Amino acid sequence: MLTTEALVKELVEKNGRSRNSLMPILQGIVQKEHYLSEEALLSVAKELDLSAADVYGTASFYTFLDTVPRGKNIIRVCKTITCHMKGKDEVINALSNALKIKVGETTHDKKFTLLTANCLGWCHKGPVMLVNDEVYPDLTPQKALEIIEEYGKEAK
């Protein structure tokens, strides 16, 4: 595996050093490391000659650019009103019990992080969750657990 510094260098080579390159670089880091560490943001600031506070400001603005360590698979259950009325709480409780973590936490084996998200635009098929970049609509607690089980196998 690449060191963070090498990863940043590679992404900078690919995306360039302009201010516009900041977002794709940050996204590239999250793809590989699941979150943006201090070390990662400092190397980005250095490579792009931006202030570290500025880079952190950008990172902290976006929900999908996490600045705390996350698991390999990030589950985001929609918490907005339609999904709420269609039973997102039951889905979250089922996931929480199965994974033995609360919302916002990461499993001990670093395989899963359980989060909530604002409206994912799937109100007609709620409740809905996102695992990494994949959308799973029409959930029931049972269905959610089956999906997670599959990810658990892959993550071995």
CA angle, 145 then 71 then 63, to 5°: 95
Site string for another protein, 87-116 (x = CB under 8 A): ------------------------------
Site string for another protein, 116-155 (x = CB under 8 A): ----------------------------------------
By beta-carbon proximity to another protein, the closer residue of 45 and 78 is 45
Q: How many residues bind another protein (CB under 8 A)?
A: 15
β 112-117/73-78 pair status: parallel
By beta-carbon proximity to another protein, the closer residue of 42 and 135 is 42
Rounded distance between C-alpha atoms, residue 12 and residue 10, angstroms: 5
* Structure tokens, 123: 């109100």
By beta-carbon proximity to another protein, the closer residue of 38 and 146 is 38
Contacts of 54 (CB under 8 A, 6+ apart): 45
46 and 8 Cβ atoms separated by less than 8 Å: no
* Structure tokens, 40: 């990662």
- What residues between 28 and 87 interact with another protein by CB under 8 A? 38, 41-42, 45-46, 51-57, 60-61, 67
Contacts of 60 (CB under 8 A, 6+ apart): 67
By beta-carbon proximity to another protein, the closer residue of 67 and 107 is 67
What are the residues binding another protein (CB under 8 A)?
38, 41-42, 45-46, 51-57, 60-61, 67
